[in-house]
Structure 1
Amino acid sequence: MSGESGIGQRLSGLAVALGLVLFLGGFVWGAVVYRPYTVPTSSMTPTIGAGDRVLAQRVDGGDIRRGDVVVFRDENWVANADVVKRVVAVGGDTVSCCTDGKLTVNGKRIDEPYLPEGSPAETRRIPAVTVPEGRLFLLGDERQGSLDSTAHLTDAAGGTVARSAVSARVDAVVWPVKGMLGRPTGFETLGPLSRPGPLGTIELMIVAGAVLVLGGGAYGPVAKRLGRSRPRPEPVGVR
């Protein structure tokens, strides 16, 4: 029995050690890769509501694709504040609205399931705009209440934002818990979409680590309780 107990204790210790590595490693990885933001306005409703807490992956502006929800800073838009909008066109694209009630990019009508239910894209008229290379055209999902590229069409940059202004790409809404953002499949015909960040893997590491730590830590008390509950063998008498 003592041999079995020793093996169990060693496995328990190994489980706790591995669990701590996974648990802490997940948090460290998440802190390095992601930044939390609170979105102050309802311009991205229903994808992101006013006051929602999001996690955004730190990315280079050159990695941004159509359909991404990004965090950027442009002094011509809002001074000293981050802005969250959706990229609908990139350098070289021609964007306009609307054709049969849909946003048009490079002559293709874009399905936008993330818009508020019953709200057509044509609530915001956009003349044909050709996006300069190295820049992005951005809209809010709530088109009626969003101060986005359409509000800056008369600026020198024609409402576009430099890729270098982007600091992060939103992966998930964590409070209230809405989970990972849906993939913007309406843009697939125009080119590759961004790949999801490692948030799912990080969550798995943290959960698996917690389970191993709790399971390994519980081994000792459970083993002692089971040991006490076993009937002791009766001593053998001498005849």
Structure 2
Amino acid sequence: MSGKSGTQGGHGRLGSVLSGLAVAVGCLLFLGGFVGGALLYQPYSVPTDSMTPTLDVGSKILAERVDGDEVRRGDVVVFKDPLWGDSPMVKRVAAVGGDTVACCDPDGRLTVGGKPVVEPYLRPGVGGRAVASDKEFSVTVPEGSLFLLGDDRHTSLDSRTHLEEAGQGAVPRSTVVGRVDAVVWPTKGLLEPPTGYADLPGGISRPGPFEALFTAIVAGCVLIFAGAAYGPVARRLTRRPAGGGPARKREKVGA
């Protein structure tokens, strides 16, 4: 009987150690993911409907803190240029320094360096046809600058609006404060990669660490709750009936 109790006690101590370890690892994952997210990402609210249907007005987004030199074609960026306004704005990078960006080809597509770009995220216009711009243009982007467009090309005030200014509507890379990685409200998750730009020189940006950080936070929560729940669950499963249980009652009747 003492051997059985010792075995049960050993199992209990092992369970307690494992549950404590699960809670400790869970705390590390949760705090690591949370702190990493706070350091690497900045939350923003989309101020206008110029990026619909990709980003609705008022959407809560997370922008990875990146240097403007890391930005590539197709990225959705947050930038702040005094010539465009006092508040941070959100647009898509259509072309980078040295590119000749023009619109439109016979199929209504944007071209970069003479190559047409497929943009499935564009909002369709009259007749259901998605046209890259309702205003024709051809611009060579100055070095160190970005040509920015909204995904709703019918309402967006973007680089096309500033074509007559110095730099032909492009903004310096230094104005970029973040690259949008995910939409957290309404919950859409990671942005779809801009595959239409993938065949151009330099390719497209790789996804940021949002998914890994989110996974760490969720896994941490699961481990914390599982470890904390072990004690009460184990006690309930090993609890014996008071007074010795049915076996003792049967002995008394038989006597």
Under a length normalisation based on structure 2, what TM-score does the superposition of the two structures give?
Answer: 0.89
1:198 maps to amino acid:
P
Shift of 1:24: 1.0
Q: Which has the larger radius of gyration?
A: 2
Shift of 1:39: 0.5
The answer to whether residue 89 in structure 2 is matched with residue 58 in structure 1 is no
Equivalent pair of 2:41/2:64 in contact (CA under 8 Å) = yes
Contact 2:68–2:175 (Cα < 8 Å) also in 1: yes
Residue in structure 2 matched with residue 204 of structure 1 by the alignment: 215
CA displacement at 1:40 relative to structure 2: 1.5
> Given residue 207 of structure 2, which amino acid in structure 1 is its aligned partner?
P
Q: Show the counterpart of 2:162.
A: 152
Contact 1:66 1:193 in 2 (8 A): yes
| CA–CA distance in structure 2, aligned partners of residues 203 and 121 of structure 1 | 36
Match of 1:221 among 215, 232, 243: 232
- Work out the CA distance in 1 between the residues paired with 2:76 and 2:41: 14
The question of whether the paired residues in 2 share the 8 Å contact of 1:85 and 1:138 is answered with yes
User: Residue 83 of structure 1 is aligned with which of 81, 89, 92?
Assistant: 89
Q: Partner residue of 2:171?
A: 161
Give the equivalent residue in structure 1 for 2:5. none
2:133 and 2:68 mapped to 1: Cα distance?
29
Q: In 2, distance between residues paired with 1:17 and 1:123?
A: 54
How many residue pairs get aligned? The number is 235
The one of 22, 43, 47 aligned to 2:29: 22
Query: What is aligned with 1:102?
Result: 109
Q: Which amino acid aligns with 1:204?
A: T
Say which SS state the counterpart of residue 144 (structure 1) adopts.
Answer: coil
Does residue 180 (structure 1) correspond to residue 178 (structure 2)? The answer is: no
Query: Structure 2: where are the runs of 5+ without partners?
Result: 1-7
Gap regions ≥5 residues in structure 1: none
Deviation at 1:188, TM superposition (A): 1.1
Change in CA separation of 1:122 and 1:65 when aligned onto 2, cut-off 3 Å: closer
Task: Report the TM-score, using the length of structure 1 for normalisation.
Answer: 0.94
| 1:56 aligned counterpart, secondary structure | strand
Instruction: Please give the root-mean-square deviation of Cα atoms over the aligned residues, in Å.
Output: 1.6
1:137 pairs with one of 136, 142, 147: 147
C-alpha distance in 2, partners of 1:211/1:194? 31
C-alpha displacement at 1:178, in angstroms? 0.9
How far apart in 2 are the matches of 1:119 and 1:168? 31
> 2:204 & 2:240 partners in 1: Cα distance?
59
How far apart are the structure 1 equivalents of 2:241 and 2:21? 26
- In the other structure, the counterpart of 1:111 is 118
Compared CA separation, residues 196 and 229, structure 1 to 2 (3 A): farther
Q: Answer whether contact 1:58 1:167 (CA < 8 A) is retained.
A: yes
Mapped contact 1:126–1:150 kept (Cα < 8 A):
no
| Aligned partners of 1:97 and 1:121 also within 8 Å | no
State, as a whole percentage, how many aligned pairs show the same letter: 56
Residues 128-161 of structure 1 deviation map (CA, whole Å, 9 limit, x = unaligned): 1000110000000000110100000001111000
SS of 2:143's partner is coil
Moved more, 226-235 or 182-191: 226-235
The aligned residue for residue 3 of structure 2 is none
1:225–1:75 CA distance, 2 compared to 1 (3 A) = same
